[in-house]
Amino acid sequence: MMSPCWVFMILVGFRISDAATQGQNTCTFNDKLKSVCVAAGDSVSVPCPNMTGEDFRLNLLKDQEVISNHTCSLGNKAPDCKSSSRGWVQLHIKTDNDSVSFLLKGVNASSHGVYRCEGQVRFPPPLLPAVPGAVSILVLIEGHQCKVPKQECSDNPWIWIWILALVSVTLYSVIITVSAVFFWVKLRKTDSQSDYMNTKPRAPRGQRKNRGVQNPAPRYF
C-alpha cells in the first residue's frame, strides 16, 4: 500500500526539478518557443535556418503572417540578399559564421507576438517545403505584457502545481505511515496481553510439600 505513494512522490520530485532547471536555464516553454521580455525601443533578433541552396528566400512571420521577405543568393563568403521589408525590420548577417537573422528594431507595445523565420530553396530544383528556424521568439514588452528585467521570463505556473502535488503526496504518505505504525504497536500490545491471560499460573512450591504430610490416625490398644 505504501510503495505506490512513495514511487509517485519520487517521480513528482524529478518532474519538478526538471521543470525548474528548464525555466532557469533556457526560459523556454517548449522546444521551439522562447519568451523574451524587452523594453520599448530595444531590438530583438529572430534567427533564420542555415540554407544551402544557390538561391533561396527568407520570410519573417509574425503570428503566422509574412511581414518581411528577402531573396538571397549564396555567394563565395556570405549570402547576398535583396530586401523587401518594413523599415523597422532588417536582415542581419554575421560575418564570423555566416548566420542570418532578422533584427526587429525599436519594438513597442504593438510588436507583441510570436516571430519566426523560415527559408525556402528556389534553385536548384526540386522545390522543397519551407524550412523553419530553430526557435520562435515570443516578444513581450515591459510595462505591457511583462514586468521582469530584460532577457528574463516569468515563472512557469506548472512548477507550483507540481510543488502542491508533491506536498500533498508527502503529507498523505506521512499520515499513512504514522497510522500504520500506531496500529501495529497497538496490535502487538493486545497480542502480548492475550498471551499473558491464557497462560496457566504455576502452583505454589509449598503446597506440593504439604501433600506428603498427613496426620497419623491414633492407635488404640
In a domain, 216, yes or no: no
Q: Tell me the three cell numbers of residue 120.
A: 525556402
Per the CB < 8 A criterion, the answer to whether 32 and 178 are in contact is no
Q: Note the pLDDT tens digit of each residue in 113-146.
A: 999 999 999 888 888 889 999 899 999 999 888 8
Final residue of a structural domain among 132, 152, 172: 152
Do residue 117 and residue 41 come from a single domain? Answer: yes
Gap between the Cα atoms of 77 and 166, Å rounded: 55
Q: Give Cβ neighbours of residue 131 (< 8 Å, ≥ 6 apart).
A: 49, 51, 118, 119, 120
Average confidence score pLDDT of the chain:
76
In a domain, 220, yes or no: no
Per the CB < 8 A criterion, the answer to whether 72 and 83 are in contact is no
Do residue 82 and residue 131 come from a single domain? Answer: yes
With a cut of 50, say whether residue 194 has pLDDT above it: yes
Final residue of a structural domain among 106, 125, 152: 152
Tally of structural domains, the chain? 2
**CA angle, residues 209, 210, 214, in degrees to nearest 5:** 125
With a cut of 70, say whether residue 107 has pLDDT above it: yes
In a domain, 53, yes or no: yes
Do residue 115 and residue 145 come from a single domain? Answer: yes
In a domain, 103, yes or no: yes
In a domain, 196, yes or no: no
Gap between the Cα atoms of 57 and 122, Å rounded: 7
pLDDT at 217: 56
Do residue 123 and residue 139 come from a single domain? Answer: yes
Percent of the chain at pLDDT above 70?
A: 62
Do residue 39 and residue 112 come from a single domain? Answer: yes
With a cut of 80, say whether residue 204 has pLDDT above it: no
In a domain, 128, yes or no: yes
Do residue 76 and residue 21 come from a single domain? Answer: no
Gap between the Cα atoms of 39 and 152, Å rounded: 12
In a domain, 92, yes or no: yes
Per the CB < 8 A criterion, the answer to whether 48 and 100 are in contact is yes
Final residue of a structural domain among 100, 126, 152: 152
The residue with greater pLDDT, 11 or 48, is: 48
Gap between the Cα atoms of 55 and 119, Å rounded: 10
Do residue 66 and residue 81 come from a single domain? Answer: yes
Helix (H, G, I), strand (E, B) or coil at 109: helix
Q: Note the pLDDT tens digit of each residue in 63-104.
A: 999 999 888 887 666 677 776 556 788 888 876 667 889 999
* CATH number for the domain harbouring residue 142: 2.60.40.10
Concatenating the DSSP letter of every residue in 37-99 gives EE-TT--EEEE-----SSEEEEEEEETTEEEEEEEEEE-SSSEEEEEE--TTEEEEE-TTT--
Do residue 82 and residue 103 come from a single domain? Answer: yes
Q: Tell me the three cell numbers of residue 112.
A: 507583441
In a domain, 211, yes or no: no
Identify the band that residue 151 occupies on the pLDDT scale cut at 50, 70 and 90.
very low
Structural domain containing residue 59: 28-152
With a cut of 50, say whether residue 28 has pLDDT above it: no
Across the range 179-207, mean pLDDT stands at 70
With a cut of 60, say whether residue 11 has pLDDT above it: no
Q: Tell me the three cell numbers of residue 62.
A: 509574425
Backbone angles phi, psi at 108, to 5 degrees: -140, -170
With a cut of 50, say whether residue 20 has pLDDT above it: no
Do residue 68 and residue 141 come from a single domain? Answer: yes
